[in-house]
Structure 1
Amino acid sequence: MIRFSLDDLKKSKASSELNLINRGIEKECLRVDASGNLSQKPHPKNLGAALTNPFITTDFSESLLELVTPTFNSAKECLDFLTELHVFVNQNLEEESLWPLSMPCHIESEEEIPIGNYGPSNQGMMKETYRKGLSNRYGSMMQAIAGIHYNFSFSDKFLEILAKERSLDLKEFKNSVYLGIARNFRRYGWLYLLVYGSSPIANNSFAKGKDHDMEDLNSNDIYKPYATSLRMGDLGYISHAQDSLNISYNSIEDYCSDLKNALETPYDEYSKIGEFKEAERIQLNDSIIQIENEYYSTIRPKRVCPSGERPLNVLSNEGIDYLELRCIDLNPTSAIGITEEQIYFLDLLILFCFFEDSPEISEQESNEIFNNHKIVVNDGRRSNQSLVMGSLEVSIKDEAIRILDEMVEIAKFMDEVVTFEDENIWMNSLEKQKNTINDYGLSLSESMLNEISNEEMSFQEYGMNISKKHREEIKNISTNDQDILIQAAKKSLIDASDIESSQDADFEDYLRDFLNKIS
Structure 2
Amino acid sequence: MSDLLSRRLALLGDAAVLPLLTQCLHGIERECLRVTASGELAQSGHPRTLGSALTHPQITTDYSEALLEFITPAEPDPATTLADLEQIHRFAYSKLQGEYLWSPSMPGLLPDEAHIPIARYGSSNIGRLKYVYRQGLALRYGKTMQCIAGIHYNFSLPERLWPLLQQLDGDSGALRDYQSARYIALIRNFRRYSWLLMYLFGASPALDRSFLRERPHQLQQLDEQTLYLPYATSLRMSDLGYQSSAQSGLTPCYNDLASYTESLRSAVATPYPAYAELGTKNAAGEWQQLNTNIIQIENEYYSSIRPKRVTYSGERPIQALIARGVQYVEVRCLDINPYLPLGIDLDEARFLDAFILFCALQDSPLLQGGECRSCTENFLKTVKEGRRPGLHLQRQGQPVELKAWATELLQSFAPISRLLDQAHGGEHYQQALQLQQAKVDDCSLTPSARVLAELRERGESFRAFALRHSQEHAQALRAQPLSAAQQANFEAMVAQSLAEQAELEGAEAGDFDTFVAAYQASILGIGV
TM (norm. structure 2) is 0.95
Shift of 1:112: 2.4
1:23–1:75: 8 Å Cα contact kept in structure 2?
A: yes
RMSD, matched Cα: 1.4
Superposed CA deviations along residues 429-450 of structure 1, whole A, max 9, x for unmatched, are 1111111011110000010010
AA at the equivalent of 2:335: D
Say yes or no: does 1:475 pair with 2:481: no
Report SS of the residue matched to 1:228. Answer: coil
Shift of 1:209: 3.0
Shift of 1:168: 4.7
Report SS of the residue matched to 1:427. Answer: helix
Give the match for residue 506 of structure 1.
Answer: 511
AA at the equivalent of 1:311: P
- Once the two structures are overlaid, the 10-residue window that deviates more, 268-277 or 364-373, is 268-277
2:55–2:501: 8 Å Cα contact kept in structure 1?
A: yes
5 Å matches for 1:145-164? 145-164=148-167
Say yes or no: does 1:224 pair with 2:229: yes
Say yes or no: does 1:444 pair with 2:447: yes
Q: 2:275 aligns with which of 257, 270, 273?
A: 270
Shift of 1:164: 4.8
> Unaligned regions of 5+ residues in structure 1, if any?
none
1:48–1:56: 8 Å Cα contact kept in structure 2?
A: yes
Give the match for residue 206 of structure 2.
Answer: 201
Q: Distance in 1 between matches of 2:466 and 2:34?
A: 12
Q: Distance in 2 between matches of 1:333 and 1:168?
A: 47
Report SS of the residue matched to 1:517. Answer: helix
1:38–1:107: 8 Å Cα contact kept in structure 2?
A: yes
Q: 1:389 aligns with which of 390, 395, 401?
A: 395
Q: 1:398 aligns with which of 397, 404, 427?
A: 404
Q: 2:9 aligns with which of 2, 6, 9?
A: 6
AA at the equivalent of 2:300: E
AA at the equivalent of 2:82: L
Give the match for residue 453 of structure 1.
Answer: 456
Q: Distance in 2 between matches of 1:275 and 1:93?
A: 36
Say yes or no: does 1:352 pair with 2:358: yes
Superposed CA deviations along residues 65-123 of structure 1, whole A, max 9, x for unmatched, are 00010010111111111111001100101111100110001113212210001111100
Shift of 1:12: 7.8
5 Å matches for 1:415-434? 415=421, 417-421=422-426, 424-434=427-437
Q: 1:104 aligns with which of 83, 93, 107?
A: 107
Give the match for residue 326 of structure 2.
Answer: 320
Give the match for residue 219 of structure 2.
Answer: 214
Say yes or no: does 1:341 pair with 2:347: yes
2:122–2:128: 8 Å Cα contact kept in structure 1?
A: yes
Q: Distance in 2 between matches of 1:24 and 1:170?
A: 24
5 Å matches for 1:363-378? 364-378=370-384
Q: Distance in 1 between matches of 2:491 and 2:190?
A: 38
Q: Distance in 1 between matches of 2:223 and 2:112?
A: 20
Give the match for residue 54 of structure 2.
Answer: 51
Q: Distance in 2 between matches of 1:164 and 1:513?
A: 42
Return closer, same or farther for 1:303/1:254 CA change in 2, 3 Å cut-off: same
Say yes or no: does 1:169 pair with 2:174: yes
Give the match for residue 286 of structure 2.
Answer: 280
5 Å matches for 1:248-259? 248-259=253-264
Q: 1:189 aligns with which of 186, 191, 194?
A: 194
Report SS of the residue matched to 1:115. Answer: coil
Residues matched between the structures, number: 515
TM (norm. structure 1) is 0.97
Q: Distance in 1 between matches of 2:441 and 2:465?
A: 26
Report SS of the residue matched to 1:57. Answer: strand
AA at the equivalent of 2:21: L
**% same residue:** 38
AA at the equivalent of 1:205: S
Q: 2:129 aligns with which of 126, 130, 135?
A: 126
Report SS of the residue matched to 1:378. Answer: helix
Report SS of the residue matched to 1:54. Answer: coil
Superposed CA deviations along residues 5-28 of structure 1, whole A, max 9, x for unmatched, are 312432484332011110001110
Q: Distance in 2 between matches of 1:463 and 1:248?
A: 36
1:14–1:162: 8 Å Cα contact kept in structure 2?
A: no
Give the match for residue 515 of structure 1.
Answer: 520
Shift of 1:244: 1.4
- Once the two structures are overlaid, the 10-residue window that deviates more, 235-244 or 474-483, is 474-483
Shift of 1:390: 2.4
Q: 2:466 aligns with which of 456, 463, 467?
A: 463
Say yes or no: does 1:297 pair with 2:303: yes
Shift of 1:247: 1.2
Q: 2:71 aligns with which of 68, 73, 78?
A: 68
